Amino acid sequence: MHGISLDRYDLAILSVLQKNSALTNSELGERVSLSPSQCSRRKARLEAEGVIKGYSARLDATSLGFGLRAITRVNLKAHGESMDDDFVTLLTKHAMVREAYSVSGDADYVLHVIAKDLTEFSDFIHHHLLPHPNVTQVRSEIILRSMKEEQGLPVSGS
């Protein structure tokens, strides 16, 4: 793992924290068979080494009014560092773009986009994405139903 040594307790801590990062060190210790102080030290080390990048709450998009999710594939007319940077700058200006990946295959970029509704999504596509001078093609699939959404990484240890 890139020079980071993780034992079974570290892996167990990571696995448990991915499911519930709000646990106290005492609760965490009970689940991984370590004392609260040992959990605290190990968590601090994992944070310092960058294995744990942060903590967050998982929110329900529908409850917050985001009724539409889409996977959007984008092709650019030309490539070059400044052109790619310009496109990435566009993406960072729009919070509805939740994830963006440069990919191989038939698209240059794949975006995960959320919107309140189809009108908001359409406005984003027609008023921001398509008018970008380097965008040549946009194809979107609306997510109808989620079959599987795994959070975190498949670490063993719990």
* pLDDT for residue 156 is more than 80: no
Cα 152 to its chain centre, rounded Å, is 9
- Whether the per-residue pLDDT at 102 is higher than 50: the answer is yes
DSSP element (H, E) containing 71:
strand 68-76
> Tell me, what's the pLDDT at 84?
85
Q: What percentage of residues in the chain have a pLDDT greater than 70? A: 97
Residue 1 in this model has a pLDDT that exceeds 50: no
Q: How many other C-beta atoms lie within 10 A of the C-beta of residue 152?
A: 11
pLDDT number for residue 95: 96
Contacts by 117-120, CB closer than 8 A, 24 or more apart: 117/67, 117/68, 118/68, 118/142, 120/68, 120/96
- State the pLDDT at residue 2: 58
Q: Given this model, what pLDDT does residue 157 score?
A: 54
Confidence class for position 151, pLDDT limits 50, 70, 90: confident
Give the pLDDT confidence of 39-90 residue by residue, as tens digits: 999 999 999 999 999 998 889 999 999 999 999 999 999 888 888 889 999 9
**For tokens 């709000």, what's the residue?**
22
Q: What is the DSSP letter of 151?
A: -
pLDDT in tens, 34-50: 999 999 999 999 999 99
